[in-house]
Structure 1
Amino acid sequence: MERYDTSLTNGRVATLGGTSVLVLSSPFTGQPDRETVHGNAADVASAVASARQALSGWAQSSSAERTKVLTDLADAIAARSEQFALAITAEVGTPEKIAVAVQVGLPVRVLRGFAEDVEQAMAAEIIGNSTVTHRPLGVVAAITPWNYPLHQAMAKIGAALAAGCTIVLKPSELVPHTNAIMMDALAEAVPTGVVNVVPGDAGTGAALVAHDGVDAVSFTGSVAGGRAVGEAAARALKPCFLELGGKSVGVILADADLDKALKSIVNGGLLNSGQTCNALTRILVSSAQLPEVKAKLADLVERMTSRLGPLISQSQFDRVQGFIQRAADEASLTCLAGGTGRPEGVTKGHFARPTAFVATDPAVELVLEEVFGPVLVLQAYDTDEQLIELANGTGYGIAAAIWGEDQQRVAAIAGQLRAGQIDINGGAFNPRAPFGGFGLSGSSREMGIYGIREFQRPVSVQV
């Protein structure tokens, strides 16, 4: 069994001092195949000390220096593309084609985007008799999840580097092989001490957030985890940036290309087996179209069965099964496709059947709560006012999609949706545009100049 027990501190990959060990199982077989060591408080303290030592030099670095490091890091990841893709497929369950294009390709694009934004991030502004510059916050503690392990890490690391901050990353303990490859790339591309990595569990993260040498905290993960991190940061009066969950909606208007819209929404909702914070897991259609959409949706979801990978763990599989079973027991929900258990013919691993329900009650759990699995819910509306009420009817607000030909109507609806990203008729994801949400989806923005600004504070000098 492979053992992962290293950190990246002061530019070197070194053995962790922690003794707590987690045994992990393959998503494809359910059998134990690797173990990982959690960093302890001493490991965290060493990493923070390294980041603090490197801070003054990196904060004074030029735009050319920052751009080069970001570009070098993108190149180092691209050179390890196959390694990363194979590791993420094995650990998360993402199909290899998606792993190459999204899990590895996206963070490379994100880093190159940050490199293009460095000059703007460092430029001064003149406001009347004031010169305003944007200065780095200092040492950033970053905690990232397992579902897009490389992308989530690079979204925070890239922004911190561009802002002039140093960073200590606590990546998810569920992806140790991916973490090991990432540390190798960072050691090659980034100056000593500027980026440090301490793998570990929630205890490791808590020690990092609480450390006096940390100036700001950035967290991506569950709502519960975000609350805990936010409370800990607030006690120390540290700025805290949260990117949390979602219950995103795909809206199909009556004049839309129904087949194209539904296929796009289903693909988005089931990406990474639904283990995606901005997955379009709710679908809104007009009541007149509901019978036709029910049949088409059932067929699309059933045909996705062979294209999805497994869920990451037994606990995630059990969570998703619980949602499906409770939905099946709810009178106001009707199952259109899928259901509990593994797909037909699959006898091992954490494979879940892609599932779709139609809901008549907007207040049921499946409509309101994030499942984080391959489960979709269909709802009908009669008026645009009802559409908007349903679309905004959860505590989340990270993403939405609208399909329709009447541009004026589409714009009017988009202007009333409480979502951080709104795609119109399949608009492509933009890695340089701000990413984040409202409400339970968090309080921060990542990517591009907006992501960099989270790690800076304006300073005005009057003359």
Structure 2
Amino acid sequence: MKFDGDYAMTIGGKAVTGSATFDVVNPATEAVIAQAPDATRAELDAAVDAARAAFPGWAATPIDDRRAALNALGDAILANIDGLKRLLTAEQGKPHGDAESEIGGAGMWLKGAATLDLPVTVNEDSAERYSETRHVPIGVVGAIAPWNFPMILAMFKVGPALLAGNALVLKPSPFTPLTTLKFGEIAAGILPPGVLNVVTGGDALGPWITGHPGIDKVSFTGSTATGRRVMQSASATLKRVTLELGGNDPAIVMPDVDVAKVAEELFWAAFRNNGQICIATKRMYVHTDIYDELKAAIVAYAKTVRIGDGAEQGTQIGPINNKPQYDRVLDLIGDAKDRGYSFLIGGEQRDAPGYFIPVTIIDNPPEDSRIVQEEQFGPVLPLIRFDDLDDVIAKANATEFGLGASVWSADEDRALAVARRIASGTVWINETQHLTPLAAFGGMKQSGLGVEGGREGLLEYTNAQTVTRRRS
């Protein structure tokens, strides 16, 4: 497959270049690297019509055949990993190694999802009647993926939606459309026409999808503010929704940890993918007994990390993906400076092309500061001292978010007791950000509705149907 030149949407199994385009920018250089199709309403209607036409046949396809198609899709992604990773780095900014991990993870996620099964529950089996509940596909799914992990987070939706028997209209972020458009080309050679359609466009396209009467369910990953608008728009036709939204994920580091061992892991818990992960550690509570030692170790490690263009060998952290997010992170840093908080490292802005912000660590800011209370989604981390366990758990839970959290301790039983008191959809012990297609992942409170992954995530793409037969 060619990974340069023209980019086309996939609608009804055919390449559609569209009647308009928009620029795609490399965040490391701020140079325009491609034009992507800017879908019109008519082109979206065509994608929805193609999905609706394909749905009955795909829903009637035996699930084992749908599994085989998912495995073939996964294998095709893995076969094209080199070209896809370079394209992903160019549009998203992450280093080639991280891009390769994402593309590989996307392929393996589809193959993992293919191992799931739809349950059938027998409610009654008596002389009088037989009753069972099965799970049937919803119809046409509008899947909206974000720019931080455009491929693997799209596969979070594509895998279970297709396995359950739905047809899809997939929309990537306008900041990262190119890799997904190439995925559409790959899928067109494997799936029946119309089962998976890929459309791209600017800010208008998302609301057109969420409000489209021909779409039965919306699965969205993105910010909480946008998630609220998605839910409001979907309510007009009572669309089913799955919303994976923002988080202000706490880490609680207990006094018994081996500082030398965990410092590097804790650094990457916050700064992997330049902090642009919904489940990255956003605020790190460190026990006072080890606070000074751990902060020195994390800062020392931070000084060894290379930041630069993801296409350059040796780069470990790339740029912020886009200008709006770059400006938001700079605003948070500016607020911390204005309030006189102590910076252990970073905080400066470089005068050169690219949306680069250095690793920035802030020393024990107040609990009510913006950098503690808001999701930064960038390379800025507050380290916060604590000495009372009940108090720090209360602070960890004192947020509108509840997506992820982590507890770090040499005493795993004690860490488990702490983890069970944290109001987050996922809590890790002595690690973070581990996800699998075999386990449910979702948020509490304002971090979303529903889950992705596991049997629970598969059932998000189905309706429960109970069939009762009275026996003669």
TM-score, normalised to structure 2, is 0.92
1:127 aligns with 2:123: yes
The counterpart of 1:434, out of the listed 440, 443, 460, is 440
- Deviation track 1:273-331 (CA, whole Å, cap 9, x = no partner) reads 11111111211111222222222222222322432111112332222111111112224
Which position in structure 2 is the counterpart of 1:367?
372
Q: CA deviation at 1:140?
A: 0.7
1:322 maps to amino acid: D
Which shows bigger deviation, 304-313 or 160-169?
304-313
Structure 1 counterpart of 2:467: 461
CA distance in 2, matches of 1:267, 1:91: 22
Aligned residues: percent identity? Answer: 34
SS in structure 2 of the partner of residue 116 of structure 1: coil
* Structure 2 CA distance for aligned equivalents of residues 112 and 452 of structure 1: 14
Which residue of the partner structure matches residue 219 of structure 1? 220
* Uncovered stretches (5+) of structure 2, i.e. residues with no partner: 126-130, 308-315
Q: Which amino acid aligns with 1:385?
A: D
Matches within 5 A, 1:44-59: 44-59=44-59
Q: Partners in 1 of 2:301 and 2:374 — Cα distance? A: 23
Query: How far, CA to CA, are the matches of 1:224 and 1:329 in structure 2?
Result: 26
Task: Describe the SS at the equivalent of 2:132.
Answer: strand
Deviations 1:155-207 (A, max 9, x none): 11111011111111111111232123111111122221111111112211111
For 1:353, the equivalent position in structure 2 comes to 358
Residues 127 and 258 of structure 1, relative CA distance in 2, 3 Å threshold? farther
Displacement of 1:43 after TM fit? 0.7
SS at the partner of 1:348? coil
Is this contact kept in 2: 1:28–1:349, CA < 8 A? Answer: yes
| Compared CA separation, residues 43 and 279, structure 1 to 2 (3 A) | same
Distance 2:339 2:260 in 1: 29
Deviation at 1:5, TM superposition (A): 5.3
Identify which range, 386-395 or 257-266, moves more after superposition.
257-266
Separation (CA, whole Å) in 2 of partners of 1:201 and 1:186: 23
Q: Secondary structure at the match of 1:417?
A: coil
Q: TM-score, normalised by structure 1?
A: 0.94
Structure 1 SS opposite 2:204:
helix
Amino acid at match of 1:208: I
Amino acid corresponding to residue 70 of structure 2 in structure 1: L
CA contact (8 A) 1:357 1:376 kept: yes
Counterparts of residues 59-208 of structure 1 (less than 5 Å): 59-101=59-101, 103-117=102-116, 120-121=117-118, 123-129=119-125, 130-208=131-209
In structure 2, how many angstroms separate the alpha carbons of the residues matched to 1:37 and 1:74?
A: 25
1:12 corresponds in structure 2 to 14
Query: What does residue 271 of structure 1 align with?
Result: 272
Say which is worse superposed, 149-158 or 28-37, in terms of deviation: 28-37
- Deviation per CA, 1:335-387, whole angstroms, max 9, x where unpaired? 11111313xxx732222101011234211111111111111111122222112
SS of equivalent to 2:393: helix
Q: Structure 1 stretches of 5 or more lacking a match?
A: none
In the alignment, structure 1 residue 321 sits paired with structure 2 residue 355 = no
CA distance in 2, matches of 1:303, 1:251: 24
Mapping of residues 440-459 of structure 1, within 5 Å: 440-459=446-465
Give the 3-state SS of the residue equivalent to 1:212 in structure 2: coil
| 1:395–1:304 CA distance, 2 compared to 1 (3 A) | farther
The CA distance in 1 between the partners of 2:99 and 2:185, in whole Å, is 19
**Distance in 2 between residues matched to 1:389 and 1:313, nearest whole Å:** 34
Conservation of the 8 A alpha-carbon contact between 1:249 and 1:399: yes
1:5–1:16 contact (8 Å) kept in structure 2: no
Distance 2:342 2:77 in 1: 45
Q: Distance in 2 between matches of 1:166 and 1:7?
A: 16
